[in-house]
Amino acid sequence: LSTDEPAAAWLAGLAREAARPAGQAFAAANIALCKYWGKRDEALNLPVTSSLSVSLGELGTRTVVTVGEHADAIRLNGEDVPPEAGFARRASRFLDLVRPAAGIGYRVDTRNALPTGAGLASSASGFAALALALDHLYGWELDARRLSILARLGSGSASRSIEAGFVEWHAGTRPDGLDSFAEALPEQWPELRIGLLTVSAQQKAVSSREAMQRTRLTSALYPAWPAKAQADLELLRRAIRARDFELLGRTAESNALAMHATSLAAQPPVLYWLPQTIVHMHDVWGLREQGTPVHFTIDAGANLKLLFLARDAGVVAARFPGVRVVAPFA
């Protein structure tokens, strides 16, 4: 991808002739350890800061796309989604980027292993899987960087779901976003575990898109966020390189709490936590006081993601009976 290439020129230049009857793909969900929180460009999903995530192994989205009739037909987890629903409108807007002509529809069949819209990163794996499925349908064979840019246009965090493992999304500085893409880090960490602790599988009342925009524009705490994110990103890179779990967990937890603090100070405020979210935070801190290194992170929702090491899986499962444990590198 040449840096002088005009924005979206490569998108316009892609073949619109299907290479096979159906495109299929899987993309893993990802959990940010340093959050993406605030856009510098809303239309292109260009972030204010870089971010870093870890992917969720087999948990993610599986998508099949075919060229259909005159209008898009979207199925989510085996059920037709009405075209006016937010989910279908977002998918159709994304499909407009590659649609050969108005009046040509796509059939998209998508299945999420995790609840949709509950702060469990389904939009990340959803748009990444759709970008990959389109690449397969049309036989473009785009490289990871272009796929990440394409997925980013659907949902910012989707840029981090094209590749697996630890993934860093470079914020970039170009107005056209051609330098804003995610890349996998070379490090693996086989002992790392992520525990999904579901407090509520309900769709969140305020989308992350709306919450981060409102926070950026109205929160007195937002101006402190870019420096915090930059410092945390450096600590996380160091923790991953050195396999320093304490540093990784402490930094990820602090980053999540700072993100939520910025949105609490937005006007009107956004608070994603439910009473049970806070109960679990205290449980995590209690376990830590007793000597088990476990930390949490929380995205735009009420659910916690626990970070711990394989050797502590028994203690964590005993304290949190409903936890779903993922081994991202196993």
Question: Residues in the site for ligand PMV, rule: CB under 6 A?
Answer: 32, 35-36, 51, 123-124, 155-157, 208-209, 299-300
Query: In the complex, what is the shortest distance from the CB of residue 321 to ligand PMV, in angstroms, rounded to a whole number?
Result: 26
Going along the chain, which residue ranges are E strands?
A: 23-34, 39-41, 46-47, 51-67, 73-76, 79-81, 106-112, 166-169, 182-184, 192-197, 295-297, 304-309, 324-326
Q: Which is nearer to ligand PMV, 25 or 167 (CB)?
A: 167
Taking Cα atoms as reference points, which of 316, 295, 308, 303 lies closest to residue 277?
303
Residue 133 near residue 63 (C-beta atoms within 8 A): yes
Query: In the complex, what is the shortest distance from the CB of residue 66 to ligand PMV, in angstroms, rounded to a whole number?
Result: 26
The count of other CB atoms within 10 Å of the CB of residue 61 is 30
Q: Which is nearer to ligand PMV, 156 or 249 (CB)?
A: 156
Q: Longest C-alpha distance within the chain, in Å?
A: 62
Residue 330 near residue 313 (C-beta atoms within 8 A): no
Residue 84 near residue 252 (C-beta atoms within 8 A): no
Q: Which is nearer to ligand PMV, 155 or 198 (CB)?
A: 155
d(CA 61, CA 27): 6
Query: In the complex, what is the shortest distance from the CB of residue 273 to ligand PMV, in angstroms, rounded to a whole number?
Result: 13
Query: In the complex, what is the shortest distance from the CB of residue 287 to ligand PMV, in angstroms, rounded to a whole number?
Result: 24
The position carrying tokens 């981090």 is 160
- Residue 72 backbone dihedrals phi, psi, to 5 degrees: -70, 145
Q: Which is nearer to ligand PMV, 29 or 287 (CB)?
A: 29
Q: Which is nearer to ligand PMV, 55 or 66 (CB)?
A: 55
Q: Which is nearer to ligand PMV, 87 or 138 (CB)?
A: 87
Query: In the complex, what is the shortest distance from the CB of residue 264 to ligand PMV, in angstroms, rounded to a whole number?
Result: 14
Residue 116 is given by DSSP the state T
Q: Which is nearer to ligand PMV, 5 or 210 (CB)?
A: 210
d(CA 66, CA 64): 7
Query: In the complex, what is the shortest distance from the CB of residue 45 to ligand PMV, in angstroms, rounded to a whole number?
Result: 7
